Amino acid sequence: MDESRRGTSRSSESELQREMEETFQRSMEEPWRGAGLYGSYLNSPEDIRRCFIELWPAIEKVLDEPIGVERALLEMRDLVVYDIPDGTRTTLTMNRNMDVQLDAGMWCLAFTHTLKSLGARKVVLMTHTAYNRERGCAEAQRILATVEKGIAPMADYCSRNKLRVNITGMSDEYELGESIKEAFPPIVDSDFEISFLVDYREEFFLEERGRLLISLLPDIDVVIRHTKLHISGGWLPIKTLHSTYLYSQNGTLYSNWTYDEHVVLVAAALLAKLLNEGEILTKTYASIEDVKRRHQSREMNLSNRVVRMHSTSKKLFVMGSPLGLVQLYY
């Protein structure tokens, strides 16, 4: 991506419209046009795959038995991530190309694009929970404004790339309901599916309609939580029975991430899945030697494996494993 495109200042809606028109024109002139109006804000799938191929060998060293790049890309096809974006109020950026509301929506788009480019076929994204409304009218309006700004880029991308979109949790009274339904018409034949949780609350799945809709969600491999080392308001009953947890310390604004950092985030999710595969609710020990090895690493040595991919890292991912904690700095 041409980083200079992020540096244009803007102070009015007319300037915003003019730059979007210029962006659209540039996207039509580029070799890869799959992102439509927002193409200049995304790297090509080829760039993303090339980046993964370059970075995966350093990441997979944590595995007892590294699987190699080709196998990793095959595993990506079955990776299902549930991402809970956060940090839009506490992440300070110097993005002059868009306001913070559009910035948050563009992060979700870039993350989805990265997954799709690497061969994943499904993703679940938290839009916001109903519990946010308990913080008062001002906070509810801030969240709705952020969601509204994110509709256009995601709808444009999904339409051009024929992505199927499922909306879960949205009531008939939801303020942006009609805009969302109009933006994401049903698509049957698709090789990628996005499930958005909109105005979500766990109690929804105790209701008859909710129990039906949860059956449409995929089983989750990895839950990613940003900026907070806990999950509160966002658990998916039944669908997370075999999932592992990945903590991403950095907030989810598009301007806070480069495309290779998105690649590492997805790679970290795959690593978290591979580290804990066969461990969650289905764990069996191969031998007493396996038990001793885990005890020695986790209990006696207090294992905390650290992978540093840069001398000056800007992203941190933390995950558990049978042998102890793993920290990945990029």
CATH of the domain at 243: 3.40.1180.10
Full-model pTM: 0.85
Residue 7, in any domain of the structure? no
Residue 208, in any domain of the structure? yes
Residue the block writes with tokens 């105790």: 206
Residue 266, in any domain of the structure? yes
Residue 184, in any domain of the structure? yes
For 113, 125, 195, 224, the CA distances from 217, given in Å and listed in that order, are 20, 11, 7, 16
Both structure tokens of 324: 């102890």
- Binning pLDDT at 50, 70 and 90, where does residue 31 land? very low
Residue 114, in any domain of the structure? yes
* Residue 297: CB atoms within 10 Å: 16
Length of the chain: 330
Alpha-carbon Rg of the chain, whole angstroms? Answer: 20
Residue 1 has what pLDDT? 41
Residue 160, in any domain of the structure? yes
Contact present, 82 and 224 (Cβ < 8 Å): yes
Split into its structural domains, the chain has a count of 1
Residue 74, in any domain of the structure? yes
Comparing 22-26, 190-194, 311-315, the range with the smallest average pLDDT is 22-26
Tell whether the model's pLDDT for residue 206 goes beyond 90: no
pLDDT in tens, 255-305: 899 999 999 999 999 999 999 987 776 766 668 888 888 888 888 888 899
Residue 168, in any domain of the structure? yes
Name residue 194's beta-bridge partners: 123, 165
Measure the CA dihedral 305/308/313/314, to 10°.
Answer: -50
Domain of residue 183, residue span: 45-276
For 21, 248, 250, the CA distances from 330, given in Å and listed in that order, are 34, 11, 11
pLDDT in tens, 46-92: 999 999 999 999 999 999 999 999 999 999 999 999 999 998 878 87
For 118, 120, 308, 310, the CA distances from 46, given in Å and listed in that order, are 9, 14, 25, 23
Sheet with 193-200, strands from edge to edge, namely 164-168, 193-200, 122-129, 80-84, 222-226, 244-248, 316-319, 325-329, 304-308
